[in-house]
Amino acid sequence: MDMTVAIIGAGSGGVYLAAELGIMGAKLRLHDRDEKRLAELRPRGGVDVEGQGLAAIEQITTNLKAAVSDAGVIAICTGGTYQEGAARDLAPHLSDGQIILLIQGNTGGSLVVRRALDAAGCRAKIDIAEMDNYPYSNFRLAPDRIRPIVRKKFLQIATFPGHRIDAIFARLAPLFPTAVATPSIAYTGFTNANAMLHCANCVSNAGKIDRGEAYKFYAEGVTPAVARLYRAINAERVAVAAALGAEVPTLEDWFARTYAVRGATIDETCRLLTSNSDGPYQPTGTPTSWQHKYITEDVPVGLMPMSALGSAVGVATPNIDAVIRLAQTLAANDFANDRRGLARMGLAGLDASRIKAVLQQGFKA
């Protein structure tokens, strides 16, 4: 595969991406600010993928300029709250024709990245794309060794602005063969399963988190009552997306399309996804504090922009808002530094029709 991909972020997501793309034959560079993370990968020169071989990484570096120079795709795998900072750091090193790919975009990721690049004075003619989730589930056996569990069967890619999708998807499709192109980032941003699944589970199991009590996050944390909360916030998510012209799958349909699993109820589905031999939720750990990314990321860059966009398009989100408020109280954090509100996304004062125009044509629409 004649494709050079620079991966920004050597956490689990970046390592999993390197493993998959390396086995496919992509030319990889891996960047992280944390030398300790990189040092764990250097002796092997990549990631050992159990049963498949070594996913070689040509360059493992803290030098951002070297990592992205002439790379066709720059995949930001830093987590949602760090995407703007990554964009600011990248701005002086980008060149015409490169694609920045957010894995994942959370909700509104491409908007805040575009604004961050503009604010940093980026002159390069680059494209921005995002995915709705990570493409794979894996066990991380060691810093440089993984065991694949399952490749997601349903993934979406969108661009900002949306009219660039055909050209950009043609370049990304060889890397992500199960992905489909979507008309706008409303599709990817409102198929943000993490925001739906993580936050409601955490606030519903607050006592266990405070006690540091390990539990099976999905198999035990999703009871019939929590499943009812899932359905309520899911309905609001789908309604806001529809007001923005995007038809997104319900949570039940997302499970079925992504993992080919559909139980009689959401809580049964979550148990199956944990207990099946190829269940992607087998390795899912339990948050042990309110500083866990299931709260500190999925509330401000997931639920909060969904709520803000709901207000903009006239769709009430009382259950999403309730989960947000509970998370703020339980975590003693209003998430003001990281929240993606309308102004931060560049959408303040716009109604549904104008937001849809921006998503298709860009901020100059």
Read off the pLDDT of each residue in 74-85 and give the average, rounded to a whole number.
96
Same domain, 241 and 147: no
Q: Cβ(17)–Cβ(85) under 8 Å?
A: no
For 150-192, write each residue's pLDDT tens digit: 999 999 999 999 999 999 999 999 999 999 999 999 999 999 9
Tally of domains within the chain:
2
Same domain, 150 and 205: no
Q: Where is the domain boundary, 189, 208, 229? A: 189
Same domain, 207 and 331: yes
Same domain, 177 and 31: yes
What are the Cα distances from residue 363, in Å, to 101, 110, 344? 19, 12, 13
CATH at residue 317? 1.10.1040.10
Neighbours of 354 (CB within 10 A): 13
CA–CA separation, 251 vs 204, rounded Å?
Answer: 18
Same domain, 99 and 135: yes
Same domain, 183 and 203: no
Domain, as residue range, for 171 = 4-189
Sign of CA dihedral 335, 338, 340, 341: positive
Rounded (10°) CA dihedral 186, 189, 191, 195 = -150
Element (H, E) at 28: strand 27-31
Q: What's the pLDDT score for residue 98? A: 98
Q: What's the pLDDT score for residue 274? A: 95
Q: Where is the domain boundary, 136, 165, 189? A: 189
Q: What's the pLDDT score for residue 123? A: 95
Same domain, 177 and 321: no
Higher pLDDT, 63 or 278: 63
Give Cβ neighbours of residue 151 (< 8 Å, ≥ 6 apart): 20, 135, 136, 178
Read off the pLDDT of each residue in 134-156 and give the average, rounded to a whole number.
93
For 195-214, write each residue's pLDDT tens digit: 999 999 999 999 999 999 99
Residue 1: pLDDT over 90: no
Read off the pLDDT of each residue in 103-117 and give the average, rounded to a whole number.
98
Which residue has tokens 């899911």? Answer: 234
CA–CA separation, 312 vs 331, rounded Å?
Answer: 27
The pLDDT > 70 percentage for the chain reads 99
Q: Where is the domain boundary, 167, 189, 211? A: 189
Q: What's the pLDDT score for residue 231? A: 98
Same domain, 30 and 121: yes
Same domain, 200 and 257: yes
CA–CA separation, 237 vs 230, rounded Å?
Answer: 10
Same domain, 95 and 8: yes
Residue 243: pLDDT over 80: yes
CA–CA separation, 356 vs 161, rounded Å?
Answer: 10
What are the backbone angles phi and psi of residue 70, rounded to the nearest 5°? 65, 10
312 pLDDT band, cuts 50/70/90, is very high
Mean pLDDT for the chain overall: 96
DSSP state of 75: E
Residue 315: pLDDT over 70: yes
Which residue has tokens 């491409």? Answer: 110
Residue 303: pLDDT over 70: yes
Same domain, 126 and 12: yes
Q: What's the pLDDT score for residue 250? A: 97
Q: What's the pLDDT score for residue 283? A: 86
Read off the pLDDT of each residue in 295-314 and give the average, rounded to a whole number.
98
Same domain, 215 and 347: yes
Residue 263: pLDDT over 90: yes
Q: What's the pLDDT score for residue 2? A: 66
Residue 295: pLDDT over 70: yes
